[in-house]
Amino acid sequence: MSHGFREFLRALEDAGELQRVKKAVDPRHLSALMAQASQATFFEQIAGYPDWRVAGALVSTRRRLAIAMGCSEAAIATRFEESIRQPIEPTLVDRAPCQDVVLTGNDVDLTRVPIPMMHVKDGGPYISATLVVSKDPEYGRNVGSYRLMYRTPRETGIDLVSPSDMRVYYQRALDRGRPLEIAVAIGVHPFELLAASYKAPIDVDELAVAGGLHGAPVELVRCRTVDLEVPAHAELVLEGELLPIGWTADEGPFGEFSHITGEVKWNPIFRIRAITHRRDPIFYVLQMPWENDWLAAPVIEAAGLQALRVASVQPVAIRAPVGGCCYWTLVASIKKRPGEGKNALLALLSVAEVKLAIVTDDDIDIDDPDQLDWAMTFRVQADQDVLIVSGARGKHIDPSVRAAAMGKGGLPTTAKLGIDATIPEGVPRSHYERLRYFAKDAVRLEDYR
């Protein structure tokens, strides 16, 4: 497979989007330095960790995400949507770089890894760039991304409060009084992280989705201490189990991808049995909030496109704007037939935790906020074109859902808002003809200077 983590770093450098830092850096300062850089950052020396290097802020802009996906910025959503229609099953290999070094027993020690402090008020150092693999006897393999808060050399917290397939797997194991084995891969290509973010049906293997993005099978290797497989070219792997204690351990606070310092949550504990890594490992720090935001964008946008097409609405363009953290808001323009403004809103509001959807006609450039405001000003009557849906699925890191009042393990709900900014039914399109300057194409100002 030609698209690995290190190949992606080279692609960023070739595009002038990677800055190398040669001077030794205290791991506590990594996140602060990344936040000051205009490019992705690669730290060649980490103070106190002579065997490690660190990379971060790799997809903190839509341009860098487009480099990862090998397409233009405008084509990100369609590129993702096309790829998930053509999954490619992973393959198993016998030997892998991610197991050059294997640490078990008393050698398992997270303090060997340069885990950074990321934000003021964080509950501890965090591992943010995770690809977490689990299995269920009925549903099979699942891949997701869940942050890990350092607790002890062999234990972390794990953020498992939101609805997810792995939460289902853990609850099923918990009901039997058993731990859930997991393996955490760090330092994989963004394709794997995008696949992990995809809201796939529970019986779909996200690593096959990643294969579709690569255009080739993802190579996997069997873990040493758990019955799971991980990407063979990962930089670092943590093997272990979620303890059967439920949502009982304090985890957080953490600087969330909502750009907010989150609250303390109750979560399970991850106990580590083995650490494996490359001989010359690179630790990947997924820099919050921008990397998380931009990794969400193609997933949410593609889900919106799919929802529109299932609803028999023809999309023209779609955006998950960064102001909504590329997650909570969807804006789409459509080729509208009668009634389809409302149908489009219902489709978009069905996507994950999207809580605001705006639909316009195809004459509006949805990337231009002034055009979007103009459409909402002159094409919307609030009593006819605004939809409100109560009691829909919410997400804990939205403070407005008041999740802290729910107690341990509770799942919040939210209200959703839809705005139909298409031309109202019965109003001729000619009533929205834009003004044009007389003789604009016949004269040039330059000729009068």
CB 265 within 8 A of CB 396: yes
Would you say the C-alpha torsion 312, 213, 218, 64 has a positive or negative sign? Answer: negative
What single-letter amino acid sits at 79?
R
CB 108 within 8 A of CB 274: yes
Q: How far is CA 43 from the centre of its chain?
A: 24
CB 361 within 8 A of CB 434: no
> Which residue shows structure tokens 């992280």?
193
Q: Which parts of 272-415 fold into alpha helices (H)?
A: 290-310, 340-349, 369-378, 382-385
Map residue 217 onto helix, strand or coil: coil
Quote the pLDDT of residue 1.
47
In 167-261, DSSP assigns E strands to: 180-186, 219-222, 229-231, 236-242, 249-251
User: pTM of whole model > 0.85?
Assistant: yes
CB 187 within 8 A of CB 56: no
> Which residue shows structure tokens 């003789």?
439
Mind giving me the DSSP string for 133-163? EEEETTTEEEEE---EEEEETTEEEE---S-
Would you say the C-alpha torsion 7, 10, 12, 18 has a positive or negative sign? Answer: positive
Quote the pLDDT of residue 397.
78
Compute CA distances 417 → 325, 341, 350, 354, 388, whole Å. Answer: 16, 14, 11, 9, 5
* Gap between the Cα atoms of 317 and 301, Å rounded: 9
Quote the pLDDT of residue 2.
55
* Gap between the Cα atoms of 186 and 66, Å rounded: 21
Domains detected in the chain? 5-291 (2.30.110.10), 311-426 (3.40.1670.10)
CB 371 within 8 A of CB 365: yes
For residue 60 the two structure tokens come to 């903190």
DSSP label at residue 176: T
CB atoms within 10 A of CB 63: 14
* Gap between the Cα atoms of 275 and 277, Å rounded: 7
CB 21 within 8 A of CB 33: yes
Residues 6+ apart with CB under 8 A from 445: none
In order along its 449 residues, the chain shows pLDDT tens digits of: 457 999 999 999 999 999 999 999 999 999 999 999 999 999 999 999 999 999 999 999 999 999 999 999 989 999 999 988 899 999 999 999 999 999 999 999 999 999 999 999 999 999 999 999 999 999 999 999 999 999 999 999 999 988 899 999 999 999 999 999 999 999 999 999 999 988 888 888 999 999 999 999 999 999 999 999 999 999 999 999 999 999 999 999 998 888 888 889 999 999 999 999 999 999 999 999 888 888 888 999 999 999 999 999 999 999 999 889 888 999 999 999 999 999 999 999 999 889 999 999 999 999 999 999 999 999 999 999 999 999 988 888 788 888 777 767 678 889 999 999 999 999 999 999 999 999 989 999 999 98
